[in-house]
Amino acid sequence: MALRIVFAGTPGFAVPCLRAAAGRGEVVAVYTQPDRPAGRGRQPAASPVKVEALARGLPVFQPENFKSAAAREQLRELKPDLMVVVAYGLILPQSVLDIPRMGCWNVHASLLPRWRGAAPIQRALEAGDAETGVCLMQMEKGLDTGPVLLSLATPITAEDTGGSLHDRLSLLGAEVLEDGLKLLRAGMRPLVQPQPAEGVTYAHKLDKAEARLDWSRPARELANRVRAFNPWPVAEAELAGERVRIHAAAALDHAHGRPPGTVLAAGRDGIDIACGDGALRLQQVQREGGRPMAAADYLNARPALRGA
């Protein structure tokens, strides 16, 4: 059975899902956020999803929202069987969810009901979760509350960052969507599994202010933040009187008895900073106006730290 699919998404995370949905020529239109100012010149820039859609010759629509009857009528005229929504950036009202014949599917980057909301990838890392994954969900009016249709899990490794996990989950999202679409084409619906009431957590949107590290916190907590906030907004902290951004760090179980923020050691392996519990070894840092560099290279510019 051929499907008429409307795809709605905006950032790079959604592009593999668009490719999966459009693989058989079933996507009849793509919705994405209006072009936003970007770069140093602050010129309007197309979203990654728009770029991909135009490259495929797909019609693109960019309403600010669906509050107007005209926007909803435009969608209705496309006669969609299914609307696939991936990181679109708009909460869809019930009047929109009801338009596609089979409703709306959402690909969400967590194992629901854990980490509903805007930043599930970063919050899973920040919390020190051992695994995460993606869910294909039947959308309803609540925030990521709909029943789960399919899911795929992946372990979170010690080397994972917000960037690496984003990229892996993006591909897993395309995989789980493709599995769901195969079932629909075969005339079958994925099994609807209501989310349990237990285990609900919310992944609140990232705020740049969160990136400022407080040395009085446990080292393991700070290490998780460094990983979660790479590549954005990037953790930052005071290092011996200089504000630096921290791109990579590791927690050490080190009983030091020194005030938080004290440089305990500095050498080829990194710069060890006293924390409220343990120590944080800075492995890659960035000075203001500079580029990320290994801690050993940073020490070449601040050799006095080696004698700490």
d(CA 97, CA 95): 6
Decide if 99 contacts 83 (C-beta within 8 A).
yes
d(CA 58, CA 15): 13
d(CA 9, CA 15): 8
What is each CA distance from 307 to 157, 271, 301, in whole angstroms? Answer: 34, 11, 14
Q: Is 280 annotated as a binding residue?
A: no
Q: Is 112 annotated as a binding residue?
A: yes
What is each CA distance from 79 to 10, 82, 223, in whole angstroms? Answer: 22, 9, 49
Q: Is 111 annotated as a binding residue?
A: yes
* DSSP, residue by residue, 100-146: STT-EEEEESS-TTTTEES-HHHHHHHTT-SEEEEEEEE--SSTT-S
Q: Running DSSP on this structure, what letter comes out for residue 193?
A: B
Q: Running DSSP on this structure, what letter comes out for residue 277?
A: B
C-beta neighbour count of 78 within 10 angstroms? 17
Residue ranges for the binding site?
110-113
Residue ranges for the binding site for (6S)-5,6,7,8-tetrahydrofolate?
110-113
